[in-house]
Amino acid sequence: MAFTPPLTLTNPTGTGQLTNQVTTAFEQIAYFALRSQPLYEMVADVRSTAQSHNAATVQFTFYPNMAQVTGALTEATDVTPVALTDSKVDVSLAEYGSSVITTALIRGTSFLNVDADAANIIGYNMVDSIDKVVSNVIMAGTNVIYAQGSMGSRPTSRVGIADAATFGAQEGRQAVAELRTASAPGFENGNYIGLVHPDVSYDLREQTAVTDVIQYQIRQEGAAVRNGSIGVFGGIEWIENPRAPILDDAGATSTTNVYQTLVAGRQALAKAFSRAPGFGEDPSVVFGPVTDTLRRFHPVGWYHLVGHAIFRQAALQRIESSSSIGDNT
C-alpha cells in the first residue's frame, strides 16, 4: 500500500500561512468622544430651595445694604427710621432635553451593550447642554474688561482686541479689584472663581508673574479640588474649561478670535427649578415607554425643567482677550 503524506493546509496565495483563517477580534467595551466636565453651574450658589408654591417663574429677593451711619446719636433726639428697600430677580423655568432610540436590529446584531452605551451618551449630552445654557446666561453680564496684552493701550471695545491682546495676570488683578471694590463675596478663603479656556490659560501661565507662584498655591490641608482647577493665583482659583466661549473673528481683524473668561464671586448666578414631585435640582435620564406594535424601538433621553439668571451683576466680571496659540488665521 502506497504511503500517503499528511495533508498540508495552505491559503490561496500559496504562502503556507492560514491568513484566510485569521479573523478580527472586537473590543466589547465602547469608547466615547473626548469629554470635559460641566463647570459653569459651580458659581450658581443661589438656588430655589424654599419655594412658596410651584410656578413657571421663581422670584428671588435681596436687600441692599443701608447707608453707613457716621454721626453720633443726640441724647434727647430719636433716630429717623429708614425705609427698607429690596430688589427682585425673576427666573423663568424652561424645558430642556433630548433623546435617542435604539432599534431591535442594532440590539440583536451588535455585540456591544447598546442600551447602556446610549444611556452613557445621553448622560453626557445632558450635562454638556446645561453647561452651555448656563454659559450663555452668565456671559451676558455687563461688567467687561478688555485685555491689553502687548498692545500699546487697553482696548475699549471687543472690536479693538488685536492678536496681541492676550490674557495676563494684570487682567486677573483688575477683575479682583473690581469685585472687591463692589464687596462681592468670594468662595473658599475669599477667592473668586475664574473659568478660563485652555488657550487663554496658556498665556496666563507663560507670564513670569504667574510661573513664580507655580503651582499656584495648590489647595492644602485636604480641601477638595474643583474639576479642572489649575490652582489659585492673585485671589482667583483658575479652572480650565474647554467649553469657554470663543467668538470667531470678532476682534480687530477678520481673523482675530475673542475668548471670554469669567471671574465670579458668590451670588453671581441664581438657579431655579421645580420642586413638584418628579422634578428637582438636577436633570434626569428618562427611559421612555416602548409604544410601537412590535416593540422594536426603545427610547432613552434626558429632561430638565430649570432656569438661570444673573443674580448680582456686581459679582461678575467678564474678560475678553485673544490667545497667542488660538486660531487667528
Q: Each residue of 60-93: pLDDT tens digit?
A: 888 888 989 999 999 999 999 999 999 899 999 9
> Which of 87 and 19 is assigned the larger pLDDT?
87
Half-sphere exposure of 310 (CA within 13 A, CB side): 18
Q: Quick one: pLDDT at residue 223?
A: 55
C-alpha cell at 18: 492560514
CB count within 10 Å of CB 230 equals 19
pLDDT at 225: 62
Least confident among 167-181, 225-239, 254-268, 310-324: 225-239
d(CA 186, CA 315): 9
217 pLDDT band, cuts 50/70/90, is low
Q: Who has greater pLDDT, 318 or 128?
A: 318
Fill in the amino acid letter for 290: V
Is residue 216 very low, low, confident or very high in pLDDT (cuts 50, 70, 90)? very low
Give the list of residues 6+ apart from residue 74 with CB closer than 8 angstroms, or none: none
Residue 309's pLDDT is 96
Average pLDDT over residues 244-270: 95
Query: In this structure, are residues 224 and 73 in contact, taking their beta carbons and an 8 Å threshold?
Result: no
Average pLDDT, the chain: 85
pLDDT of residue 10: 45
In this structure, are strands 258-264 and 246-247 parallel, antiparallel, or unpaired? Answer: antiparallel
Cell of 83: 425705609
Over residues 3-12, mean pLDDT: 48
Say whether pLDDT at 213 is over 50: no
- What is residue 136's DSSP assignment? H
Of 191, 234, 259, 262, residue with least CA distance to 39: 262
pLDDT at 212 over 50: no
**All domains of the chain, ordered by start, with CATH?**
37-53+88-329 (3.90.1690)
Q: Which amino acid is at 238?
A: W
- The answer, yes or no, to whether residue 9 has pLDDT greater than 50, is no
The alpha carbon of residue 123 and the mean position of all alpha carbons in its chain are separated, in whole angstroms, by 15
From 31-40, 89-98, 247-256, the region with the lowest mean pLDDT: 31-40
What's the whole-number mean pLDDT along residues 307-329? 92
Query: Any alpha helices (H) in the chain, and if so which ranges?
Result: 104-109, 114-138, 169-181, 198-206, 208-211
Mean pLDDT of 43-69: 85
pLDDT digit string, tens, across residues 237-254 = 899 999 999 999 999 999
Q: Span 297-301, mean pLDDT?
A: 91
pLDDT at 11: 46
Task: Give pLDDT tens digits for 121-147.
Answer: 888 898 899 999 999 999 999 999 999
pLDDT classification of 25: cutoffs 50, 70, 90: low
- C-beta of residue 92 within 8 angstroms of C-beta of residue 273: no
pLDDT at 32: 66
Length of the chain: 329
Q: What is the pLDDT of residue 29?
A: 61
Q: Are 41 and 271 in contact, with CB atoms under 8 Å apart?
A: yes
Please give the pLDDT value at position 319. 98
Q: Cα separation of 299 and 287, whole Å?
A: 6
Top pLDDT among 119 and 32 is at 119
pLDDT of residue 34: 62
Q: Are 249 and 255 in contact (CB under 8 A)?
A: yes
- pLDDT tier, 27 (very low <50, low <70, confident <90, very high otherwise): low
Please say whether the dihedral angle defined by the alpha carbons of residues 128, 133, 138 and 142, taken in this order, is positive or negative. positive
Widest CA span in the chain: 139
Neighbours of 71 (CB within 10 A): 5
Q: Inform me whether the pLDDT recorded for 148 exceeds 70.
A: yes
Residue 20 clears pLDDT 70, i.e. is over it:
no
